[in-house]
Structure formats: structure tokens, C-alpha cells
């Protein structure tokens, strides 16, 4: 419930102030998750669990360049910029913006999680 309320409030604020024609700003939801874990480190159940957790992520990018990531009930924020196709948050590479999608790749000791986000109509 709390997560839905946070997402709803942030989406409402973004909708009221984000430029409608800028493809980068707005509300983004997960389109695809690719979990590529080493079979020696992770069971098929772990892979499914990681993928399932990632599918609920939401990315919100406001027109003042604040990126908010809502992930597994936690909310993280940082100042973002678009440098070519690279998305940089608080000075650190975070993902890519290409072909109208946001793409991220997270490295873990078990392997990689690649996530692509599509812009939502919210």
C-alpha cells in the first residue's frame, strides 16, 4: 500500500510538471528482465526470484533531472544527466537511454541482471 501511494504521488507530481514532448522525463516501468547468473552460484529458483523482484521496479525522472528509483519497497533518488546515450546519476554511470527505452545492467557475484524500462502513460 505504501509503495503504491509513493508511486502514485510521485507520478502525479511528474505528470503536472514534466514537459509532454520530452521523451526522457516521466514514469518508466519494467518491460523485460534478463537474469544471467552462473549455474554454479544460483539455482533456477534464485533466478526466478531476482527476476520477479526486478519486475516491480519503477523509474521516475522529473524535469528538474531528479531520478527516483522505487525498488522492492525502497526509494532512492539522485540528480541525473543524459550524456549522449549514457544516464549518469550523482556522477556515476547508471544506464542507457536508447531506442526510446531505459536500459540498466547490474553486476552481482552470481552474474548479471539486465533490465529494460518503457515509458508509462501514467
> Is the domain 2-119 a CATH 1.10.3470 member?
no
pLDDT digits (tens, 9 = 90+) for 3-50: 443 344 334 333 434 445 688 999 999 999 999 988 877 888 888 887
* C-beta separation of 63 from 19 below 8 A: yes
Cell 552460484 -> residue: 41
pLDDT digits (tens, 9 = 90+) for 52-68: 888 999 999 998 899 99
Residue 15, H or E segment: helix 2-17
Residue 99: pLDDT band by 50, 70, 90 thresholds?
A: very high
What span, in angstroms and rounded, lies between the C-alpha atoms of 72 and 6? 12
Distance from chain centroid for Cα 31 = 10
- Across the range 97-103, mean pLDDT stands at 95
C-alpha cell at 106: 547490474
Q: Map residue 53 onto helix, strand or coil.
A: helix
Cell 508511486 -> residue: 7
Domain boundaries, the chain: 2-119
Amino acid at each position: 500500500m505504501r509503495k503504491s501511494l509513493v508511486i502514485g504521488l510521485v507520478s502525479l507530481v511528474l505528470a503536472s510538471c514534466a514537459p509532454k514532448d520530452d521523451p526522457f522525463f516521466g514514469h518508466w516501468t519494467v518491460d523485460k528482465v534478463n537474469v544471467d547468473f552462473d549455474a554454479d552460484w544460483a539455482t533456477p529458483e534464485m533466478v526466478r526470484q531476482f527476476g520477479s523482484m526486478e519486475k516491480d521496479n519503477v523509474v521516475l525522472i522529473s524535469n528538474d533531472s531528479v531520478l527516483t528509483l522505487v525498488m522492492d519497497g525502497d526509494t532512492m533518488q539522485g540528480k541525473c544527466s543524459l550524456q549522449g546515450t549514457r544516464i549518469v546519476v550523482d556522477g556515476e554511470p547508471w544506464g542507457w537511454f536508447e531506442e526510446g527505452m531505459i536500459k540498466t545492467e547490474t553486476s552481482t557475484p552470481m552474474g548479471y541482471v539486465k533490465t529494460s524500462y518503457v515509458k508509462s502513460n501514467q
